[in-house]
Amino acid sequence: MKTYELSWSGHSLKLGKRTCIMGILNVTPDSFSDGGEFLSTNSAVAHALNMVKSGADIIDVGGESTRPFSDQVSEQEEAKRVIPVIKELAKKVRIPISIDTTKASVAEQAIWAGASMINDVGAMRLDPDMASVAGKFDVPVILMHMKGNPKTMQEKPVYNDLVKDIKKFLKTAIEMAGKYNIPKSKIIVDPGLGFGKTVDHNFSLLKHIGKFESLDVPILVGPSRKAFIRNLLKENSQKDLKSGISAVETGTQAAVAAAVLNGAHMVRVHDVASTRTTVQVIDAIKTAE
């Protein structure tokens, strides 16, 4: 497995021998897993500090739900949700804070407030100014594959060759980033579990994560509590499982283990404590003689 070291603005992440854990902080009323739980600045910061204590290497702050069929919120509303949280959190933690957004203006405000990474599920396609912002501030960028946008991505997604098509998309995104002075050494890719994929697509991607290694950048995987896990585990009579129940979290940890064993350098999760245990064991298996 390839190893990488990202160094920038007083931060350093060594990726490969030990799996990096990104803790999810949704400051939204409608996210599929924890919408409305951390809307106040105080509750959001307290939750983030708990994730840091549990072993998070990065806190990823998002102010807009990207669940399937969701609508966008305005730049003003998104910034109103995330900026106060980032400002307060930046005073209290030393680990990197990532801004989860597709909007360049929100990303820029977040960086001024104390964020030091950009997690763009649109891979800088949805806002033409995003690449310029990332290049100007010289911060790491996570480029994720998504078919269409959150509103349309789950409308019968079809691929000619799942891995090949997604790898081509990510390769193009990396090349575009380079044109905006974003060095390859500051790029992380995410194949986008749950973003324009069927249940079978997601499990296939987990099995074949290692095929993205040829892109020569770190790989992030985000399986946490997603619908493909819930759909697999639910009984025939059930419409859906609640994302926070123990069965869904156990399923998430199985997906995390598979992703790490197959080549993921970083995982994005809700339950940092459980994930820390999982990756400690899988990392030990990976590095064993």
Q: Are 43 and 85 in contact (CB under 8 A)?
A: no
Residue 239: what pLDDT? 73
pTM assigned to the model: 0.93
Residue type, 253: Q
C-alpha span between 144 and 126 (Å, rounded): 12
Residue 68: what pLDDT? 67
Best CA proximity match to 169, nearest among 101, 220, 103, 123: 123
Cβ density class 85-101: b for 16+ within 10 Å, e for less: bbbbbbeebebbbbbbb
Q: What are phi and psi of 73, to 5 degrees?
A: -105, 165
Active-site residue set: 226, 268
Residue 240: what pLDDT? 77
Q: What are phi and psi of 153, to 5 degrees?
A: -65, -25
Render each residue's pLDDT in the chain as its tens digit; 289 residues.
Answer: 899 999 999 999 999 989 999 999 999 875 545 445 567 899 999 999 999 999 999 999 999 987 666 678 899 999 999 999 999 999 999 999 999 999 999 999 999 999 999 999 999 999 999 999 999 999 999 999 998 776 665 777 899 999 999 999 999 999 999 999 999 999 999 999 999 999 999 999 999 999 999 999 999 999 999 999 999 998 776 777 887 789 999 999 999 999 999 999 999 999 999 999 999 999 999 999 8
Q: Are 247 and 2 in contact (CB under 8 A)?
A: no
Residue type, 116: S
Fold of 4-287: TIM Barrel (3.20.20)
Task: List, in order, residues 6 or more apart from 159 with CB less than 8 Å away.
Answer: 165, 166, 201
Residue 111: what pLDDT? 98
Q: Are 48 and 25 in contact (CB under 8 A)?
A: yes
C-alpha span between 3 and 267 (Å, rounded): 15
Residue 35: what pLDDT? 46
Q: What are phi and psi of 56, to 5 degrees?
A: -65, 140
